[in-house]
Amino acid sequence: MRAAIGAALFGACLALSAPAHATYPERSVQLIVPFTAGGAADVMARVLAKELETRLGQSFVVVNKPGGGTAVGALATINAAPDGYTIFLSSNSTFSINPAIMSKLSYDPVTQFEPIAAAGGLALALLARADSPLDSVKDVVATAKADPKKLLFASFGNGTVPHFAGEMFKAMAQIEMTHVPYRGSAPAMTDLLAGQVPLSIDTVVAAKPYIEAGKIKALAVTTGKRAALLPAVPTFAELGYSGYDISSWVAFVGPKGMAAEAKAKLREAIKAIMTDRQVRERLVTLGFEPDYGPLDDWTEYVAKDIARMREIASKAQIKGD
């Protein structure tokens, strides 16, 4: 009896002294989104957060931290504990465009983030009013060459992906157009509809309702392949601009040194989400092009994209506000 009691006490002591091992996640996870609530990126984040909740069994709370051209959200992420309970969903605005146009950046996109997974992107389109005489990219190029000062193109801000898309088109077509930056997609679309600007570059999701209403038309999409929401609209590459491919690509990252278990669990869940047919269809209806990738080549990929954006920014003299 004494031996049995001793053995039991010894086992209890071992159990107490052994470190507790919690399975990730054991509590809610904060998903930082560096954009305002209600926009395309925020809507997409909330869909993905709900799917992560379903697969991992804990709540994923979307926290909007706009400001500083996404720098506010980026800083909140890199300053968080790398335990997997704070993750960041952002676009190439954070990871390659800001480094390309800002002389002093408050974070390092290569060394201060732990890459988790690529999630896809938002396709963009070159837009004109439905009654515009500009019916094609060919018409735009001919008009710009005939009168270099005639054409304006709107974007939803200086240094945004649509701004870069327009400058990339100008360089490849060897034309001049004047960029008109707006504070957001809505005011840019309002002026396009009113005829205040002849052209705009915006997300496919923002353009789709107005295209269906017969108010605007899409002349080309900026992605390497046709957008799922606008399958009849050609890409710039199809129209002769070989290599033209630019969009708002989106990725999940965390603070550098994130716990390996958390990273693995998140990757597994994100892969399941992005390969689920029903989820993919829902994301496509929102204008998102789902595409999972593990981001194992993060350092090389981001460095290469920064170099590409810097080249465009240098030629077009794009500087951060």
DSSP 102-133: -SS-SS-TTTSEEEEEEEEEE-EEEEEETT-S
The CATH code of the domain that includes 206 is: 3.40.190.10
> In total, how many domains does the chain have?
2
Higher pLDDT, 70 or 214: 214
The conformational region for residue 282 under phi > 0 = left, psi -120 to 50 = alpha, else beta, is alpha
- Tell me the average pLDDT across 241-259: 95
Q: Does 108 share its domain with 139?
A: no
pLDDT, mean of residues 136-161: 94
Expressed as residue numbers, the domain containing 138 is 124-221
Q: Which residues pair with 202 in a beta bridge?
A: 125
Whether residue 133 is found in the same domain as residue 213: yes
Residue 117's pLDDT is: 98
Q: Is residue 25 reached through a cis peptide bond, with omega within 30 degrees of 0 on the bond before it?
A: yes
Residues 101 and 143 reside in one and the same domain: no
Query: In Å, how far are 4, 41, 46, 275, 314 from 182, measured between CA atoms?
Result: 78, 18, 26, 36, 21
Tell me how far apart the 2 most distant CA atoms of the chain are, in Å. Answer: 102
What confidence score (pLDDT) does residue 37 get? 84
pLDDT per residue as tens digits for the range 95-148: 999 999 998 999 999 999 999 999 998 899 999 999 999 999 999 999 999 998
Asked if 101 and 43 sit in the same domain, the reply is: yes
Q: Are residues 37 and 96 in the same domain?
A: yes
The H or E element spanning position 171 is: helix 161-173
CATH number, domain with residue 100: 3.40.190.150
What's the average model confidence in pLDDT over 27-34? 97
The pLDDT score that the predictor gives to residue 68 is 85
- Determine, yes or no, domain membership for 23: no
pLDDT averaged over the chain? 91
pLDDT for 40:
75
In this structure, the answer to whether residues 113 and 133 fall within a common structural domain is: no
The whole-angstrom separation of Cα 16 and Cα 18 is 6
Specify whether 110 is located in the same domain as 146: no
Give the CA count within 13 Å in the CB-facing half-sphere of 304. Answer: 5
Specify the pLDDT at position 321.
64
Residues 281, 211 share a domain: no
Digit-coded pLDDT (tens) for 277-317: 999 999 998 888 999 999 999 999 999 999 999 999 999 99
Q: Note the pTM of the prediction, 2 decimals.
A: 0.84
In 3D space, the residue among 239, 279, 281 whose CA is nearest the CA of residue 141 turns out to be 239
